[in-house]
Amino acid sequence: MDDLDRRIVALLIRDGRATYAELGAEVNLSAPAVKRRVDRLLDEGVVRGFTAVVDPAAGGWRTEAFVEVYCSGAISPEALRHAWEGIAEVTNAWTITGQPDALIRVLATDVRHLEEVLERIRSAASIDHTETAIVLSTLVDRRVPASG
């Protein structure tokens, strides 16, 4: 993971479909040399894969919310993961420090749908209660810290 790797990764974050020739032109390397590095980065898990960045609203997901989850008793993170992975509308979930045990990001079509998802979240594990905050606007949207 040298400086060349970091530059290639930064370029691939900006354009995940950039050709090896284009990447090579930016970092002064031949296309095969770039490919070998990208293959190695994929192998090492530095780059997990490539994906399309989709506008959720275009798919009808117009309501976004964060749900703080307070559990009752001891529940393993693995049990929570298993329960929430099966709920399609749960896009992200983390266990966290502080008063709530977990934080969930939910995408729903509307508030009515959100309420229905919250019921499924609560019934999927022995949960004490939840606190929901609806997203008003997205101010910053990156996956990793800004670089260049």
Which C-beta is closer to a second copy: that of 48 or that of 73?
48
**Adjacent-strand bridge partners of 104:** 67, 93
Residues 38, 5 contacting (CB under 8 angstroms): no
Closest separation in Å from C-beta 120 to a second copy:
13
Applying CB under 8 A, which of residues 3, 17, 43, 73 lies at the interface with a second copy? 17
Would you give the binding string for a second copy spanning residues 59-78, x where CB under 8 A is met? x-x--x-x----------x-
Selected range binding DNA among 29-37, 61-69, 88-96, 125-133, rule: CB under 7 A: 29-37
Closest CA to 114 of 54, 68, 67: 67
Q: Which is nearer to DNA, 28 or 138 (CB)?
A: 28
- The reply to whether 1 sits near DNA by the rule CB under 7 A is no
Within 10 angstroms of residue 64's Cβ, the number of other Cβ atoms is 19
Site string (72-111) toward a second copy, x via CB under 8 A? -----x--xx--xx--xxxxxxxxxxx-x-xxx--x----
Give the span between the Cα atoms of 28 and 112, in whole angstroms.
54
Q: Is 112 a residue that touches a second copy (CB under 8 A)?
A: no
User: Which long-range contacts (C-beta less than 8 Å, at least 24 apart) are formed by 85-91?
Assistant: 86/124, 87/117, 87/120, 87/121, 87/124, 89/113, 89/117, 90/117, 90/121
Applying CB under 7 A, the span of 23-31, 52-60, 66-74, 83-91 interacting with DNA comes to: 23-31
